[in-house]
Amino acid sequence: MENSGVRRRPVQRRSIERVERILDACADLLDEVGFDALTTVEVARRARVPAATVYQFFDGKPGMMRALALRNLDLLLVRLRRRAAAEHHLTWHRAGEIVLEETVGMRRTVPGFTVVDFADTRPGGASFLPPGQAQEGGDILAERLYAFAIDEAGLPPLRDPLRATRLAIEAAGVALRLAFQHSRDGDPAMIAHGRTMLTAYLDRLTHD
């Protein structure tokens, strides 16, 4: 079961808006000051809420990171649903291209995404998901993407699906980290190499 980092889920509209303001402020500050310098006090100030409100809804700083990562994953799935609906005879090859394209778009435009993406890990850093309480971030991403591919996009099942999906995600993630290492827009050549690697792997999986 996913550990969202949310202590109390908002029900009333006012509370929902507060939570979204907190996450928006958190994302903006990640871009401005980075993960290490970010504080709950500054997030609360930016979101125009008392500091106690942050702890009312979130399990501190790690909780905000988990919630932000899962919100980013939800956003990815919304974008993938829109793309899949416009495709005819979707294949794993094409699905890989679409996921990569949408991830690149999010890296370029979504606040905080380069620090906390939907895999719930920082490049070179530890997962924000507590050991023993939830699965590793890559598992959540792999499971939800694979479920979307099979249940919603109608793609054929893969053999050993969790390992295959995790490997595809990790390999593509390395390529994107290299592509965006020195530029907010990313290195187009490195992105292209990542696309080649990902689609070749998916082609091999579906033709063996």
Q: In whole angstroms, what is the distance from residue 116 CA to residue 66 CA?
A: 9
pLDDT number for residue 135: 47
Instruction: Give long-range contacts, CB 8 A cutoff, 24+ apart: 101-105.
Output: 102/76, 103/76, 103/172, 103/176, 104/176, 104/179, 104/186, 104/191, 105/79
Which pTM does this prediction carry?
Answer: 0.85
Which range of 15-19, 99-103, 133-137 scores highest in mean pLDDT? It is 99-103
What are the tens digits of pLDDT across the range 74-131? 999 999 999 999 998 999 999 999 999 999 999 999 999 988 888 654 433 445 555 4
Model confidence pLDDT, tens digit, residues 145-187: 999 999 999 999 999 998 999 899 989 999 999 999 988 899 9
CA–CA distance from 84 to each of 44, 108, 135, 185 (Å)?
Answer: 38, 21, 27, 24
Residue 118: the pLDDT is 81
Please, where are the H alpha helices in the chain?
13-33, 40-47, 51-57, 60-85, 92-109, 137-147, 161-179, 188-207
In angstroms, rounded to a whole number, what is the distance separating the alpha carbons of residues 128 and 42?
20
The pair of structure tokens assigned to 139 is 């598992």
23 C-beta neighbours (distance < 10 Å), count: 21
Enter the DSSP assignment of 151. Answer: I
Q: What per-residue confidence (pLDDT) applies to 7?
A: 52
